[in-house]
Structures are given as C-alpha cells and as structure tokens.
Structure 1
Amino acid sequence: MKIRIIIVSFALILTSCLGQTNKGYRGELSQPSDAIININNSVFNNLNETDIEIIKRYIAGNSRWEIRKEGDKTYAIRKEKKDGVYTTTLNGYYSNFESASKIYQTRVIISFGKYYGHGNDESHITFSSTKDSEIKLKIEGEHSGTPGNSSYLIIKGEDINVEIYEQAKEINRAFTIQTIEELNTEFSEVLKHREEINKNGVMPMIDYYPNTYESEFFNINDGMQPGIYVVQAGLIIEKEGVVFVKAFETKNNSQLSEDRMTSRTEREIGWSENGQNVFPYETELTVYEGDWDNEYSARFEIWFRDQHGNESKIAEKTRQIYGWQR
C-alpha cells in the first residue's frame, strides 16, 4: 500500500509539472467557429508532376519568391514588403508589431515533397487536404512572448503543400483566407502560361513580378546588425541549378564562415536556355569571423552549381565588412 501511494503521488507531481511546462510554452488551443475557412475550386487539387515543375520554375524566376533547401526539404518563401520593398528575411517571418495593424506576424510557404512545418511540436498545426472545401483551424491563444491568436495551416497535396502562419489580434483568419485566394489566382495564371515558362522561365503576366531587370548586377547591403549582410543580384542563368555565396578575407584569402554560408545561401534560381532573361537572387548571410569594432576587407563570390554537381563562379565583389558578435 505504501509503495502504491508513493507511485501515485509521483505520477501526480509529474503530471502537474508537465502541465505547467506546456502551459508556459504554448497557449490554449481551440477550434472556434470564427476560424472556419472555406475553399472553392483550389488550383492545388489534382496537380500532376508537370504542373508542379511549372509552378516551381515560375517561383524560381520571380523575385517575390525565394526557393530554399534545408536538409531534405525544399520550400519557397513568399516575400512580403518591408518599408515598401519585397525583402528577404532569415526565417521567412514578417512582423508588424509596432503599427496599428491587427496582423502581427505572418509566413507563407510552398513546400515541395515534405512539408516544412513549424517546430517539432505539431499539436498546434492544422493539417488539411487540397480536396477539403472546409477547414476548421486550430487557434493558439495569447501566451508569453506571443501576443494575439496564432494559427499554422498546412494544406497537403501530392508533392506540393501550402503552409500559412498567421498571428493576429482577431480570431478570424483574414490573412490566411486572403493568401489562399491570392495563391489560387496566381498559380492558375501560371498554369495557363506553361508554354512561355517552359520556353524562357517567365510568364508574360508582368503584374506578378515585383521587379524585372535589363542587365546583371551584384549588390551587398548592410543587414540589421554589423556582420549581417543582404546579397541581391540579377543573374543570367542558362540551365537548371542552384546559386550560393562564398566569402573570403582578402588579406590571406581564407574562406569565411565556410561551414554555414554555402548551405544557408543556396537558392534555386530561374533559368532560360536563350540567355535573354535576368533572374533574381537574394539571400541574407552572417560573417562570424571578427567583431563590431574591427573592419576588414572581404571578397564575396556568387557560385552556380548545375544538376550534375559542376560548379562555376559567376560574379565577385569586394567590400569592407565587420564580423557579427552576440
């Protein structure tokens, strides 16, 4: 009897501790009627392999989008405007906590094959199918460090998924609904112009492209802190592949942040066999060598790797930089 009492008491203590931990880390989950969304005639329903490749190639050639690789996951982040300009961010989140907007933070992803997800704990994620016409979203209530109501929706299809994060004051999911409608319209147009995209990597609907470029360029801009930089380039690419950045200290030619920079800056990019189109490349990178007090000269190089693993340098630029420090 004594042993049984000890075991029961220990179980109650453990349950209590676990409950307190979950409550502190996550907000309360609910599925309110105000968070039900309806989807009609989704373009993502019944896409075949060729359709998905057309969508992927379109995304790779559009500066509104950015295709990234992380391990065995390939996904595209939709850029949003910061100070009136579509800009890349480190993890694809776009925040707006200081304005009068009721939408605090968002992220839109199109993932290919495996879904990207939102952390290891998936209890707060709403999983749906492209065939579903009604989705009852899970809403995570406000909790420490996360104001407003949050939701993460994954609409799973055949080798393509839509992922939308919305953190907003209201329970109704205005951003999520609007985004689904926008994606449906955009990719419907893409599939109507598959021949043009197959031919030169872009479609003639110019309104869907925030920027078009007449010639190649390569800029390295300061990021949010010293040691963080944003690379923006327009490149002529004539075959399918990926682009990435290498950086070197010019004094001794030693490679900077070698174990992190290549993988974190690798992006799939648009291409055209005729070499007549300039395609966008943008990435944020961090240089870990050095500190905020000592400036030094560094050479940044843009490299291309084709589907067969062949690599070639396509551009370089030198500038003064700092190393990032905590």
Structure 2
Amino acid sequence: MFWIEQETPDTWAHNLKIPKNIQIEDPADIGIDENKPDSLTNRVVKQTEFQLYNSFQPGLYKYDFWIGKIESGSIYLKAFEITQNLALSADRLPKSSSISIYNPTDSIIKFGTNSDFTIYEGDWGDSYAGRFEVWFKPDNGAKERKLYSKNYKIEGWMR
C-alpha cells in the first residue's frame, strides 16, 4: 500500500482556480542553503507584517512575523484554500508553525520559524491560493485572537 500511495498523484488541487480579483503574493524562495533573501531579512518594517518562504521542496514553508508590543505567548498559523475556505493541514499546522513571542516595546520586532512546516493538500506544480492567518495564544490564558492574514500562491507537499 505504501508504494501505491507514493505513486498515486494527489489530485486535490487539480481543479482549483486562483482568483484574479484579490491580492495574492508568491512566497519568497529560501532554497537548499536555507538563506533568506537580504532584501527581506534586512528591510525596515514599520507595521505588523507576515512573510511566507518556500523551503527546499514545494509544500514545505517557513515564515517571519513582525509585530510591535505584545504580551508573552505563542503565535501559530491557520491556512485555508481561498475559493472554498477549506482548512489546510488543520490537524498539524498550528503545532508545527508555533513559536514563542514577547515584545514589551513599541518597536517592531521580527519573529520566525527555524524549522519547516508542511501544507499537505495538493501536489508539486499544482498551485492554488491559500490564506494564511497568524493567531496568538497568550500565556496568561486569555482568549486566542487572530493578528494578521495574508494570501499566497502555494503548492502542497508531494507524499
């Protein structure tokens, strides 16, 4: 069964269309060397911002998140296919994208993932539109809240 599953393409995204009436960005490329482009890592950010990065294989991603003053807690991602609002990798994404944050100042600080997270829906070369939401879970037990949302053209990881 393992070999059959590996040889069978994932047709999940075959008929999805990328909308033309909304802003959708391409993730920045990191590549095998894991170096983020200087144009992104050295830029001055003056407001809350999110940047998605393609890792070394399609469907594998990293991200950076810039934010000002915020209490201690963790941020994590939720992702959705845009045209049908279907949750992507919902059972794994919040945990695999979670990072601890804390910024007691008004200055914008960058936080980012060190390891990859995976979007499983779809296949290499089968692009579709995904909405990425950054969620915050405070350490003090207060209610979780959405901090940011941005649309990207993505691919799923070929299993």
If the TM-score is normalised by the length of the shorter chain, which range does it land in?
0.5 to 0.7
Identity of aligned residues (%): 31
Tell me the SS of whatever aligns to 2:150: strand
What do residues 105-143 of structure 1 show as CA deviations (whole Å, max 9, x unaligned)? Answer: xxxxxxxxxxxxxxxxxxxxxxxxxxxxxxxxxxxxxxx
Change (3 A) 1:85 1:270: farther
Which structure's relative contact order is higher, taking Cα pairs within 8 Å and 6+ residues apart?
2
Residues 138-287 of structure 1: pairs in structure 2 closer than 5 A: 213-215=44-46, 216-272=48-104, 275-283=105-113, 284-287=116-119
- The letter for the 1-side match of 2:143 is N
One of 132, 147, 159 as aligned partner of 1:314 = 147
Change (3 A) 1:84 1:243: closer
| Structure 1 segments unaligned to the other structure (5+ residues) | 1-80, 87-209
- The letter for the 2-side match of 1:227 is G
Tell me the SS of whatever aligns to 2:87: coil
Change (3 A) 1:256 1:212: same
Residues 101-120 of structure 1: pairs in structure 2 closer than 5 A: none
Query: Post-superposition, which runs of at least 4 consecutive aligned residues in structure 1 deviate over 3 A?
Result: 81-86, 210-214
Number of aligned positions between the proteins: 121
Bigger helix share? 1
Change (3 A) 1:259 1:83: closer
Tell me by how many angstroms 1:250 deviates: 0.6
TM-score, normalisation: structure 1: 0.34
| Structure 2 segments unaligned to the other structure (5+ residues) | 1-32
- Give me the CA root mean square deviation: 2.5
Match of 1:323?
A: 156
Change (3 A) 1:83 1:214: closer
- The letter for the 1-side match of 2:96 is R
- The letter for the 1-side match of 2:107 is N
- The letter for the 1-side match of 2:153 is Q
What do residues 33-57 of structure 1 show as CA deviations (whole Å, max 9, x unaligned)? Answer: xxxxxxxxxxxxxxxxxxxxxxxxx
8 Å CA contact 2:68, 2:107 repeated in 1 = yes
Distance 1:282 1:257 in 2: 20
User: Which of 1 and 2 has greater Rg?
Assistant: 1
- The letter for the 1-side match of 2:111 is Y
8 Å CA contact 1:269, 1:279 repeated in 2 = no
